[in-house]
Amino acid sequence: MSKPTVGAALIARLADWGVDTVFGLPGDGVNGIMEGLRRNADRIRFVLVHHEEAAAFMAVAHAKATGRLGVCLATSGPGGIHLANGLYDAKLDHAPVLAITGMQESSVIGTAYQQEVHLDRLFSDVAEYNETVANPAQVPALVDIAVRTALARRGVAHLTVPNDVQVATAGDNPFDEVGPVRDPATAPVWVAPPVRPADDDLQAAADLLNNATKPAILAGAGARGAGPLVELVADVLGAPIVKSLMGKMVVPDDSPFVLGGLGLLGTAPSEDLMQECDALLMVGTNFPYTKFLPAPGQAHVVQIDVEPTRVGTRIPTDVPLVGDAAATLEALLPRLRRRTDRRLLQRYQEKMRDWRERLAATERPDRDPIAPQFLARTLDRVAAPDAILTCDSGTVTTWAARHWQATGGREFYLSGTLASMAPGLPYAIALQHEYPRRQVIAFVGDGGFGMLMAEFHTAARYGLPVKVVINDNNALGMIVWEQMVNGFPEYGVRYGDPQPDYAAWARGCGGYGARVTDPMALESILGEALAYDGPARVDVAVDADEPPMPAKVTYQQAVKFAEAFVRGQPHKAAIATTLLKDRITRL
């Protein structure tokens, strides 16, 4: 029996690590690795995509949802370059991902050969581990180190393999060893270290929180899996819970302690609490928008994070607790005193009731064109109790953040820190692969969907019942309002006519496709799509002049908005009419 090639040994080693899926696009720069996938098809499935960026996003979604390694594959040169956006999504949101790329034959590297791109140099910023497999003897050691590093540092690892090395015999060392070394021998083993803060630090944190009169909790994605413990702490302290957008599913939105999100997409009660609290417990969050956090010196801060370098990055921290969220909260809880004064919590519960009434007023079905808030709430109402929602970046993110309820077993994923356009559909495909019996919905904008819409065919080809709902304003909606809030009239942000027929594309792929312009028909058509036995896509024409207003409009924002009108905002009449409708319905 012949020895395996490097390509086959590399894939077999990934299987030894428990990897069961590779997302990618073949090319002549990875033919040796593709042969390795063919030979190991009984252990690892290869998901063929239409664009390498989508492959990287799929690997990220797999990693975010499962905590396991996500793997993507691209050929040399331009194929590998296409991975970069998805890999930065992994880096910024701390998802363990391995990227495998090809490279030209080692004998021509440095000769300006066709498609010669040194991907190891290109990925030097994005990757925690980044190596070229230059010798067949390096496999599987480099695979082991790459996987272990990605898992341990919750980031990106990258291996690039020259074409000739891919087809060489695994384990062969073509060179004489001149130092006191031998061929590397490693094992596919990694164990997450138990991380629990020291007792003295826990007691200091408890003392600070016990002595507070207006405590608050800010929970992020790092608290995922520790939601019940976060609620227990909130109950003991009588502290309201604010969530980062990435932490939306950590604690259910219908929890009596939850005030919703924070920031431009958040709620007014959350902003009020951040301005009032005298103690803040941050759990698993590196919330970047410091303008919305308590002013330095206003509140004492306890921050729980598993990564020491993130503690104290956003706001001065009195007591850093470096540890896993669940383990740390379990150790902290017995040291906390139950607060009998519930007035702060009760006051903010009343604020949330008022906020929900204000939101409900914008979700009216009698608006024409369809209000995007009504679309988001209708989708929330008809979706399954354990649905998984993936979301794009843009105005659609605002509607999902405020009107989609992460309750019960629901999950929510998006490109949080990178805030990239277009991950919604690839995320959904990866998650449907992982959870074939769950309802997976991609809630996307027309701008993001248009970028990677070919992947709807990927869903159809694999028989994945992914549901895609497009918040279609025929524009780059968020950029419209970002230009105006800077005082500039919008420019170059609306697509105009002819409008794409996304429904026809869905049907052409063999799936369900429909376009909705009548709000009275929305719920029934969404129901049909969700019940369809296969991929489905519903294109909903929404009001393009509905601004994603912040919870509180500042004086400066209002001035800049007015300046945009004065300088010649082309759609000012329609925007003014929409704002007036919003105001009337709230009243």
pLDDT, one tens digit per residue, over 164-222 is: 999 999 988 888 777 777 788 899 999 888 789 999 999 999 999 999 999 999 999 99
Q: Write down the pLDDT at residue 464.
A: 98
Q: Write down the pLDDT at residue 557.
A: 66
Tokens for 291, please give them. 């303008």
Quickly state the pLDDT bin for 530 (edges 50, 70, 90).
Answer: very high
Instruction: Flag whether pLDDT at 514 surpasses 90.
Output: yes
Going across the sheet that includes 440-445, the strands are 411-414, 388-391, 440-445, 467-472, 536-541, 512-516
Q: Write down the pLDDT at residue 579.
A: 57
Mean pLDDT computed over 355-363: 93
Q: For residue range 457-498, what is the model confidence (pLDDT) as tens digits? A: 999 999 999 999 999 999 988 888 888 888 888 899 899 899
Q: For residue range 116-143, what is the model confidence (pLDDT) as tens digits? A: 999 999 999 999 999 999 999 999 999 9
Instruction: Flag whether pLDDT at 552 surpasses 80.
Output: no
| Cα angle for residues 103, 108, 112 (degrees, 5° grid) | 85
Longest Cα separation, the chain? 82
Q: For residue range 416-427, what is the model confidence (pLDDT) as tens digits? A: 999 999 999 999
Mean pLDDT computed over 11-21: 97
Tokens for 565, please give them. 């009108």
Q: Write down the pLDDT at residue 540.
A: 98
Instruction: Flag whether pLDDT at 1 surpasses 60.
Output: no
User: Considering the chain, what percentage of its residues have pLDDT values greater than 90?
Assistant: 83
Burial of residue 587, with CB atoms counted within 10 A of its CB: 0-12 exposed, 13-18 middle, 19 or more buried: exposed
Q: Which residues of 536-546 are buried (b: 16+ CB within 10 A; e: fewer)?
A: bbbbbbbbbbb
> Which H or E element spans position 64?
helix 52-66
Q: How far is CA 219 from CA 89, 244, 259, 281, in A?
A: 20, 6, 11, 8
pTM reported for the whole predicted model:
0.94
Torsion sign over Cα 459, 460, 466, 467: positive
